[in-house]
Structure 1
Amino acid sequence: MLKKLFQSFRSPLRKPQQHVRTTPEVLSSSQHSLQRNQFSRYAVNIVERLQTAGYQAYLVGGCVRDMMLGITPKDFDVATSATPEQIRAEFRNARIIGRRFKLVHIHFGREIIEVATFRANHPIDDEDEDSNQSSRNESGRILRDNVYGTLEDDAQRRDFTINALYYDPVTERVLDYANGVHDIRNRLIRLIGDPQQRYKEDPVRMLRAVRFAAKLDFGIEKHSATPIRPLAPMLRDIPSARLFEEVLKLFLSGYAEATFEMLVDLELFEPLFPASSKALEYNPTYTHTLISEALANTDLRIKQNKPVTPAFLFAALLWPALPARVLRLQERGMPPIPAMQEAAHELITEQCQRIAIPKRFTLPIREIWDMQERLPRRSGKRADLLLENPRFRAGYDFLLLRESAGEETDGLGEWWTEYQDANDSGRRDMIRDLGSKPDATGQGPRKRRRSSSGKRKRAGVDGSE
């Protein structure tokens, strides 16, 4: 699949074609496969009510695109000439959200239909009349986006041609302003307008291009792909909280493995995960294998409707950068577990400067990593205590991931697999057998020493003695 994704943007360049028209190509019901009963009845009802009230209104974007591809949409969005305040006046169950980009959410029980007012592009020298501040920064990135416009304006400012399709469930017509139907048929991701300018307006569009290409199994059209590598560093200027949400979309949509390959190829992985990108350079085989294995497992769990946790995902994405840091601290004389904890804190702090991973995820990430130092320590009652640890399962799964990536652990994963399945007697035998074998440091079993008080010293909760 990856060969197909990349082949479309490695051929010789030609002058880009402009794909935006002021008048759309209109497809009647006999020229497309869409039917109004395929769409959310609530979304269709919103369109009908807004049209009855005298406004223009259409189903738009991803839901139209996905229906044309035979994919069940996750969301149904509506675009309209009505302002957010006018929409709210029509629907008692409507709520205006957002500041940079005002939207209306209309609630129908658990289903939420998002309704947006037609937008227009910002002029390059545009200023916000209320605040006398530019709506763009010096690099061209859009800071505010509440300039309303016509349907034609709205089509022009959308990011990709395949997202500039408008479906009217009343007349059952499709309005195509940017040859989006053509690109759907040819399985191409193509930016509307000048790609370099559009990426500068919002660098996250580079990530969206990758996400759609991986999800839809499309290629990125060559003119839309060419500016990505030189402009990739612009992602460093995107707020870290926004990048966290975008990374979740990239890796939790069921196409994470293909997404990772494209991010690396287009040099977008480095501005998102700088430490892991370095690990790809100095330890490429292990790093690539571990991350790919983790993402393939994530994709499989999503396809099987099993739960996935961002904590495990980020733990895998960052892990390849961790062992070298732990080793450096150990070489300075720090014990293994404190070295792991210190290196983990340092790595996560650095990563959060790029992607604002919430504390509810950074804590379990550190616990998963910490478990990797504790799992080899199985003597006495430690094994049973580890089994009772709420992070044991995640730590154990992570250990198996490390082994599948080629890391040597002297059969530790197999031992823990057998230990979980063994009865009490079998577990005691396994612990006794450990007494005759070298420990994780390669040394034989230590003799217990008595403290000066005559009492035996116990290992602390952090593993130090």
Structure 2
Amino acid sequence: MPRRAVIISKLFKLCRQALSAKEPSDNDGAYVTTLSEPLIIPRSEHGISRAQFSPNALKVLYRLKDGGYDAYLVGGCVRDLLLGLEPKDFDVVTNATPEQVKKLFRNCRLIGRRFRLAHIVFGREIIEVATMRGHHEEQNTQKCNKSQASEHGQLLRDNVYGTIDEDAERRDFTINALYYCIKDYSIYDYANGVNAIKKRRVELIGDPETRYREDPVRMLRAIRFATKLDMTISPATAKPITQLADLLANIPPARLFEECLKLFLSGKAQENFSALRDFGLFKYLFPELDKILDANPGGLEEKFVTQMFVNTDARINNDKKVTPAFIFAALLWFPLLKRTEELMQREQLPHFEALASAMNQVLSESAQQVAVPKRFTLGARDIWHIQHRFDKRGGQRAYRLSQQPRFKAAYDFMLLLVDSGQDELKELCDWWTAYLNTDVNGQKMMVKSLGGNNRPRRRRSGGSRRRTNKPASE
């Protein structure tokens, strides 16, 4: 390269360093840029110990280092340890390509098309290893470096590898651009992430609109991080969300299902639900329910969904199980009732046929936004069906119904309806509560006391039907 070009290149780099080294601004219109030179926090100052790491994560780090590669713990695990939280998983970043990682680990599998990743499997624990990402405009001619974007700016393929500096600039939030180096046990802070943690602010790296267009799921992640970490979303990061909310329509429904699980099974579901509604994101996940909520602000439907999320958070925070089938059954309940009523009026269908048809339609349409796996939609169907069988208690019906696998979830669903204001179900709900809290003899007496109205109809066998006498002439 000519000497003049080298000088110009160095001057450009110095200018870029000077511009990017400024402290992040608190102004509404400003956004955070990365630092060209990281802030290096030595082991003596950050207080994070290797004893806090997963032993399997340490195995991966050391084997990569011994194999001649750079290896860092990155993102959420470093952030959570600085916040005094226990990380749920440990992610590793390296300058080794996925294929090179696979050669080092027999228990490695490569996944992903949008960005190739290596999963190192240790029983139930998976350590995710990513290759450092680079900039798209600086792609080289190697076959492994491939990138593709949609007309909206969304990254469809992102297998562009680079240096740790470039990888830091490609991170989404400043609090995630933190790297723990296994060589010297220091933390490398590339985007003032430690400062953001101190201020308890969720800040995007780079121009927020561009970053959201690259990956619209970042709008959901911003909300989830803010509620999970008890932080606020910076004004510059929050400003474009409402305007760009419709970009979620370009995200595969299967990926949105995974994001919904993270939002609703984090112990902060009620706060996430409110934030999704405030930013206009909820309607791109559950459009029919969103319309119903808008039509009746503060009504039964809103109370029901809010109380469902409050109960979900309480169960999760008390280490109790929550099935996604229950959550999605609740989120689609009122769209189901609305569709059932429409089918009964428009097509003059009996209630049972209208309900069955409505279930198929509502679940099929919802899958266009959020692709709920069949194992959960089957559970939701069972919960819905049982709601219409609670009043049929005569004979052995009450006992048989109580033995159904989804009965407890369906019973909790009915309690939720009553708690949110559906008073016409209270007497039935009280009966079932008493039935479940008494012994077998007491249950039999309760069924007998119902009277004849709840007795099941006897089914006549084919041979017992009365035959009409045929005329003798025949």
CA distance in 2, matches of 1:283, 1:128: 57
CA distance in 1, matches of 2:440, 2:66: 72
- Which amino acid in the other structure matches residue 360 of structure 2? H
- Which amino acid in the other structure matches residue 300 of structure 2? Y
CA distance in 2, matches of 1:115, 1:324: 47
- The residue number in structure 1 matching 2:343 is 329
Q: Which SS does the other structure have where 1:113 is aligned?
A: strand
The alpha-carbon deviation at position 82 of structure 1 amounts to 1.1
The alpha-carbon deviation at position 294 of structure 1 amounts to 1.4
Q: Deviations over 1:110-131 (max 9, x none)?
A: 332111110013239x799869
The alpha-carbon deviation at position 109 of structure 1 amounts to 3.6
CA distance in 2, matches of 1:107, 1:352: 31
- The residue number in structure 2 matching 1:210 is 223
Matches within 5 A, 1:229-240: 229-240=242-253
Matches within 5 A, 1:279-428: 279-284=292-297, 285-331=299-345, 333-408=348-423, 409-428=425-444
CA distance in 2, matches of 1:247, 1:23: 36
CA distance in 2, matches of 1:392, 1:109: 33
- The residue number in structure 1 matching 2:184 is 171
Q: Deviations over 1:161-182 (max 9, x none)?
A: 0000001133121111101000
Q: Deviations over 1:226-266 (max 9, x none)?
A: 11001111111111111111111111122111111111111
Matches within 5 A, 1:5-24: 14-24=28-38
CA distance in 2, matches of 1:456, 1:210: 66
Structure 2 counterpart of 1:272, from 285, 289, 299: 285
CA distance in 2, matches of 1:242, 1:146: 19
Gaps of 5+ in 2: 1-25, 467-474
The alpha-carbon deviation at position 81 of structure 1 amounts to 0.9
- Which amino acid in the other structure matches residue 88 of structure 1? K
TM-score (norm 1): 0.87
Matches within 5 A, 1:169-208: 169-208=182-221
Tell me how large the CA RMSD over aligned residues is: 2.7
The alpha-carbon deviation at position 433 of structure 1 amounts to 3.4
8 Å Cα contact 1:25/1:176 also seen in 2 = yes
Gaps of 5+ in 1: 1-11, 437-443, 458-465
Structure 2 counterpart of 1:98, from 112, 116, 131: 112
- The residue number in structure 2 matching 1:462 is none
The alpha-carbon deviation at position 34 of structure 1 amounts to 1.2
Q: Which SS does the other structure have where 1:411 is aligned?
A: helix
8 Å Cα contact 1:337/1:373 also seen in 2 = no
Q: Deviations over 1:192-220 (max 9, x none)?
A: 00000000001011111111111111111
Structure 1 counterpart of 2:125, from 104, 108, 111: 111
8 Å Cα contact 2:32/2:203 also seen in 1 = no
Change (3 A) 1:449 1:109: closer
Q: Which SS does the other structure have where 1:354 is aligned?
A: coil
The alpha-carbon deviation at position 450 of structure 1 amounts to 10
8 Å Cα contact 1:59/1:77 also seen in 2 = yes
8 Å Cα contact 1:450/1:456 also seen in 2 = no
- The residue number in structure 1 matching 2:15 is none
8 Å Cα contact 1:340/1:373 also seen in 2 = no
The alpha-carbon deviation at position 447 of structure 1 amounts to 11
8 Å Cα contact 2:61/2:92 also seen in 1 = yes
8 Å Cα contact 2:394/2:454 also seen in 1 = no
4+ residue segments displaced more than 4 Å: 126-134, 444-457
Higher alpha-carbon deviation: 321-330 or 95-104: 321-330
Choose 1 or 2 for highest CA Rg: 2
8 Å Cα contact 2:31/2:208 also seen in 1 = no
CA distance in 1, matches of 2:248, 2:449: 53
- Which amino acid in the other structure matches residue 170 of structure 1? K
Q: Deviations over 1:349-369 (max 9, x none)?
A: 110111111111111211111
- The residue number in structure 2 matching 1:433 is 449
Q: Which SS does the other structure have where 2:92 is aligned?
A: strand
The alpha-carbon deviation at position 50 of structure 1 amounts to 2.3
8 Å Cα contact 1:163/1:180 also seen in 2 = yes
Higher alpha-carbon deviation: 141-150 or 35-44: 35-44
CA distance in 1, matches of 2:219, 2:426: 43
Identity in percent: 50
CA distance in 1, matches of 2:52, 2:458: 74
- Which amino acid in the other structure matches residue 450 of structure 2? L
CA distance in 2, matches of 1:106, 1:423: 52
CA distance in 2, matches of 1:173, 1:131: 30
Q: Which SS does the other structure have where 1:144 is aligned?
A: strand
